[in-house]
Amino acid sequence: MKVALVGNPNSGKTSVFNQLTGLNQKVGNYPGITVDKKIGRLNGDKNISVLDLPGSYSIYPKSADEEVVTRVLTDRNNPNYPDLVVVIADISNLERNLLLFSQIHDLGLPTILALNMIDVAKRRSLEIDIDKLSELFRTQIVRLNARKGIGIKELKEKIRSFEFNGSLEPILEGEFDRNELLTIPPKTVQREFAEKRNRRVSQMVRFALRQHGEDIFSRNHRRVDKIMTHPVSGYLIFLGILFLMFQAIYAWAEWPMDLIDNVFLGLSRGVKQTLPAGVFTNLIAEGLIPGVGGVVIFIPQIALLFTFIFLMEETGYMARVVFIMDRLMRPFGLNGRSVVPLISGVACAIPAIMATRTIDNWKERMITIMVTPLMSCSARLPVYTLLIALIIPDMTVGVFNLKGLVLLGLYLAGLVAALLVAMIFKFMVKAKHKSFLIMELPLYKMPRWENLLVTVLEKVKVFVWEAGKVIVAISIILWVLASYGPVDRIDEAVNRIPKPVNELDISGYENKVAAARLSNSYIGIIGNAIEPVLRPLGYNWQIGIALITSFAAREVFVGSMATIYSVGENFQEGESLLKRMQNERNPNTGELVYNLASGVSLMIFYAFAMQCMSTLAIVLRETKSWKWPFIQMIYMTTLAYVAALITFQILK
């Protein structure tokens, strides 16, 4: 049997889904957390599949996430077409929730009505006559508190023993023909039926719902809202939260990061001591371990970022941010709802782009998708951190640490670029419909801490695993390409180096031979070939290689650097990647390779460049056209190149 969970956004569908299946899908107090369908199996009954769906206000979809629901419920040939629909309704907001229920009922789908959030209803002094409601709406009813799992057992029982006794009399006559496929009627008809339906449902609810005394609970929430949306305190609180978020990833994450760093340094040293010396040991100790370490070290920062976003969503604050930012986003061709993808884009562009499904307006959604990858995601942090440590001196400006300021500047550069590019797209993309913002502001909620833990662990696991796989693979390929090359060419280059005449010259000679070998290896040949294009930006061929390998995933940068610098060079025992990069000089001019100009230019390049295959794949999936990811890659790469070029030419 196939069971689908349907209901208004934020009514608790995913919470119920998690309870029924034992899975851990993302839950949050923001209308539009779930944007795609997800299938699970009923706990203890493998024959019953449970489908979680995005929230929907009506069977006539108004946005991309609502379309998913309509497609499943109205097409009998859809593989997910349910045998039973469990409508999850927020009991503290019954009338609007039952509008959707009545549509589904009238479509002829077998239903069970689950009234969720009984705890909230109680606190709002709402009393519901279940028998009456059940009789009026001709359906079985269960009461739930999906957060605590109350009523879940009863719901399971009802699902298992469900039997559909033919088509029931519709709640509102005349809207649907049960024998025919649903066609979406014109707006005037939709609206006419919605009004009729609302009146009918409202009449029926009046019989079953009673409010005892005043609703002090909602009143208190609205007091908080007045502060959160106030012209002064509203923006101050929002800026304060952003500042705290930044402070957290910059300062608080430092000591666990140092700890991880030391562990990996120790690991490298241990490997060097136990394995026989040689190129292979170098690959492991100087390439692979620092490469993987370069990702693992960011776990504290990524965990903090996801924690902040989780808390903003789960408390209900995110919806208020949308509310106060809408007016400010409009001139840029964006919508208040674009703020959610832009903020979550600071953690990762992939879920952020998925989150754009809740933006009703197609044009605003496309623009949001196009600019979200400009927000500095967590994969850029390793690059920024390494380069900042390399070139920015440890000093304070006023009360601020210069390194922290540079990092902040990079995040701001991403944001400003996103807004400006959005403005350009605003004039280029044609609007199909008028833009609007009609959104529920949910009640504030206390976050559930175990939920936070599960969500953040999951995100961290995905990040480390995905990035780790790519880094190990690329490190090995790079190492092979850097260790081998056309034999004649290497011999020729080595022979050209004058032989040492005395003992003192030997180490210098060895260094030169190693350098010649590297630059005539396969990787050196590729690197040298692209160097002319990158020289105006201040990069040498090693950086060029790191850029090429970063094309698929930018977090590979540190690992690539580590691998390239582990091959050939005769570095001192225990010298860190940072030291080696710091001492790297241009063999022709003798200048430091990583100086202020080239370093900042490189950071700017990484801030703007599209170096993430997974993001492009998601953009393709979400826009259903090759055009958008293609334009995105071209414009971001161009922007990155030009901005880096200008930066280097000014600073040098």
Partner 1 sequence: MTLDKLTKNRTATITHIRQNSIAPKLVEMGLYPGKRVTLLFKAPMGDPIALDIDGYTLSLRKEEASFVEVD
CB of 341 to Mg ion, least distance (A): 17
Interaction of residue 29 with ligand GTP, rule CB under 6 A = yes
Span near ligand GTP by CB under 6 A; candidates 5-13, 72-80, 273-281, 288-296: 5-13
State which residue, 6 or 33, has the beta carbon closest to Mg ion.
33
Interaction of residue 351 with ligand GTP, rule CB under 6 A = no
State which of positions 127-166 bind ligand GTP (CB under 6 A). 144-147
State which of positions 25-54 bind Mg ion (CB under 5 A). 33-34
16 and 40 in contact (C-beta within 8 Å)? Answer: no
Task: Give, in degrees to the nearest 5, the angle at Cα 413 between 408 and 415.
Answer: 95
Chain length of the chain: 652
From the list 45, 135, 215, 584, which residue makes contact with partner 1 (rule: CB under 8 A)?
A: 215
- Three state DSSP letters for 382-407: HHHHHHHHHHCCCCEECCEEHHHHHH
What would the two tokens of residue 650 be? 């000014």
Pairing of the two strands 400-401 and 396-397: antiparallel
State which residue, 20 or 470, has the beta carbon closest to ligand GTP.
20
CB of 302 to ligand GTP, least distance (A): 22
Strand partners, 3: 50, 84
What would the two tokens of residue 132 be? 């009456």
Interaction of residue 564 with ligand GTP, rule CB under 6 A = no
Helix, strand or coil for residue 583? helix
2 and 80 in contact (C-beta within 8 Å)? Answer: yes
445 binds, among Mg ion, ligand GTP, partner 1, none (CB under 5 to 8 A by kind): ligand GTP
Span near partner 1 by CB under 8 A; candidates 35-43, 191-199, 243-251, 304-312: 191-199
436 binds, among Mg ion, ligand GTP, partner 1, none (CB under 5 to 8 A by kind): partner 1
State which residue, 26 or 200, has the beta carbon closest to ligand GTP.
26
What would the two tokens of residue 97 be? 């929730």
140 and 158 in contact (C-beta within 8 Å)? Answer: yes
364 and 567 in contact (C-beta within 8 Å)? Answer: no
Sheet holding 111-116, edge to edge: 38-42, 45-52, 2-7, 84-90, 111-116, 140-143
Contact pattern from residue 416 through residue 435 relative to partner 1, giving x for each residue in contact according to CB under 8 A and a dash for the rest: -----------------xx-
Q: CA 437 to CA 407: how far, in whole Å?
A: 34
CB of 244 to ligand GTP, least distance (A): 22
From the list 441, 515, 631, 645, which residue makes contact with partner 1 (rule: CB under 8 A)?
A: 441
DSSP string over 518-571: HHTSHHHHHHHHHHHHHGGGT--HHHHHHHHHTTTBTTHHHHHHHHHHHSS--P
Listed in sequence order, the residues at least 6 apart from 173 whose beta carbon sits closer than 8 Å to its beta carbon are none
Helix, strand or coil for residue 114? strand
From the list 8, 14, 49, 315, which residue makes contact with Mg ion (rule: CB under 5 A)?
A: 14
Number of residues that bind partner 1 (CB under 8 A): 43
State which residue, 65 or 225, has the beta carbon closest to Mg ion.
65
Q: In the complex, which residues of this chain contact partner 1 (CB under 8 A)?
A: 57-58, 60, 62, 92-93, 95-96, 99, 124, 187-188, 190-191, 194-195, 198-199, 215, 218, 222, 225-226, 229-231, 234-235, 319, 323-324, 326-327, 336, 433-434, 436-442
Q: In the complex, which residues of this chain contact Mg ion (CB under 5 A)?
A: 13-14, 33-34
Q: In the complex, which residues of this chain contact ligand GTP (CB under 6 A)?
A: 7, 9-15, 27-29, 31-34, 54-55, 116-117, 119-120, 144-147, 314, 445
